Structures are given as structure tokens and as C-alpha cells.
């Protein structure tokens, strides 16, 4: 079976132009989507569903930086063991705790907006580093540490979302 990158005709790299991914995804879906085969025979309808399912999965995985990175590391034989390996550098953890304290004391939309903008910057910086590690130096070990950090930031993003929600309620 083809891997997600091959399936979408993309080079297996962390750095990825979202527009290019979107275009590849749509080009392929527009040919194999079950809507193309609604009037076809059973075997074609089934094949189309299986392909469209795979292409959707590939797109979903490659679209998310964390998922894309994890997938690339796995392709390169690095077992990242994210679930069991939770040890993080102390300074990073202190930073994370500060961020969470800031979030807890945020009482209005403006301060949440600030936190969100700040998070976006941090993510960009981290993603650039990951790209350098994976695509440039092929240093998958270090990349795996950075990806774990990125997961922390993603989780923090979700917490910000929940805080917006709490303000609305």
C-alpha cells in the first residue's frame, strides 16, 4: 500500500505548502470520490469508497503539523512512544505552567486573543525547527523531542478554545 505522501503525489517532507496539499487532495478526490461512481457497478462503488477513505485519511494526517511529523518519524523508523515517554525538559515545563497560569487569570476575550497570538508565534517557530530537523538534518531523534513540545502547544490551544467557550457561556 502506498504511504500518505505517495498517495497524494507529494515529497515526503515536513515543510509542506498547504495550498499544494489542498490541490493534490481535491484533484484526486474529484476523480475517485463515491459521487463519481454512484451510478456505477458494485465493484467500482466499493473500490471508490476504499480509495476515498484512504485519501481522506492521508489528507487529514498530512494537514496537521503534529500528525504529519509523527507520520514522517514513523516512516523513518523512529518509534516516538509519545504516550509513554512524557519526560520533558524542566525549563519547557516551567514555561508551560506559566502559560497555563496566564490562561487561568485571563478574564476577557482580549487577553485570550493575546495568548492565542503568542501561541501561534511559538508554534511557527517550533514548526520551522522541526522542518530543519527532519527535512534538513534528518535528525529524527531531536525532531521527536520537538514534536512532543508541539503537542503540548496544541493541547494548550485546545485549552484556550475551551476558555473562549467558558466566556461565552
Partner 1 sequence: MTLFQISEPGQAPEPHQQRLAVGIDLGTTNSLVATTRSGSVAVLTDVQGRALLPSIVRYLPGGRVEVGYAAQAHQAEDPRNTIASVKRFMGRGWKDLAHALGDLAHAAPYDLVDAPGMVQIRTCAGVKSPVEVSAEILKVLKARAEESLGGALVGAVITVPAYFDDAQRQATKDAARLAGLNVLRLLNEPTAAAIAYGLENSAEGTYAVFDLGGGTFDISVLRLSRGVFEVVATSGDAALGGDDWDQRVFCWIIEEAKLAPLAARDQRLLLVKAREAKEYLTGHAEARIDARLSSGEFVDLTLDTETFCRITQHLVQKTIGPARKALRDAGLTVDEVKGVVMVGGATRMPQIQRAAAEFFRRDPLNNLDPDKVVAIGAAMQANVLAGNKPQGEDWLLLDVIPLSLGIETMGGLAERIVPRNTTIPCAKAQEFTTFKDGQTGMSFHVVQGERELVADCRSLARFELKGIPPMVAGAARVRVTFQVDADGLLSVSARESVTGAEASISVKPSYGLADADIERMLRDSFDHAKEDVHARALNEHRVEAQRLIDATRAGLREDGNLLSPEEFSSIEEKTRALEKILDASDFRAIKLASDALNRATEEFAGRRMNASVRRALAGKSIVSLDA
Residue 107 touches partner 1, criterion: CB under 8 A: no
| Residue 15 interacts with partner 1 (CB under 8 A): yes or no | no
Q: What angle do CA 95, 140, 119 make, to 5 degrees?
A: 30
Measured from the CB atom, is 13 or 93 closer to partner 1? 13
**The residue to which cell 497524494 is assigned:** 8
Choices 34-42, 98-106, 120-128, 132-140; region in contact with partner 1 by CB under 8 A: 34-42
Confirm or reject binding of residue 40 to partner 1 (CB under 8 A): yes
Please give the grid coordinates belonging to residue 61: 494526517
Site for partner 1 in 117-136 (CB under 8 A): none
Q: Is 43 in the site for partner 1 (CB under 8 A)?
A: yes
Show the cell assigned to 144: 521527536
CA atoms within 13 A on the CB side of 86: 3
Minimum Å gap between C-beta 56 and partner 1 is 5
Q: Cβ distance 53 to 34 under 8 Å?
A: no
Q: Is 89 in the site for partner 1 (CB under 8 A)?
A: no
Amino acid at each position: 500500500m502506498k504511504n500518505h505522501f505517495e498517495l497524494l503525489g507529494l515529497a515526503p517532507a515536513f515543510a509542506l505548502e498547504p495550498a499544494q496539499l489542498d490541490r493534490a487532495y481535491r484533484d484526486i478526490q474529484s476523480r475517485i470520490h463515491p459521487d463519481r461512481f454512484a451510478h456505477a457497478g458494485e465493484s467500482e462503488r466499493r473500490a471508490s469508497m476504499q480509495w476515498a477513505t484512504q485519501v481522506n485519511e492521508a489528507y487529514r494526517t498530512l494537514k496537521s503539523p503534529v500528525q504529519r511529523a509523527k507520520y514522517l518519524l514513523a516512516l523513518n523508523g523512529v518509534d516516538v512512544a509519545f504516550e509513554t515517554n512524557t519526560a520533558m525538559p524542566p525549563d519547557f515545563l516551567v514555561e508551560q505552567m506559566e502559560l497555563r497560569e496566564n490562561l487561568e487569570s485571563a478574564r476577557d476575550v482580549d487577553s485570550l486573543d493575546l495568548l492565542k497570538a503568542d501561541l501561534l508565534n511559538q508554534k511557527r517557530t517550533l514548526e520551522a525547527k522541526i522542518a530543519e530537523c527532519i527535512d534538513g538534518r534528518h535528525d529524527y531523534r531531536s525532531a521527536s523531542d520537538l514534536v512532543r513540545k508541539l503537542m503540548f502547544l496544541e493541547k494548550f490551544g485546545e485549552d484556550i478554545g475551551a476558555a473562549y467557550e467558558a466566556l461565552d457561556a
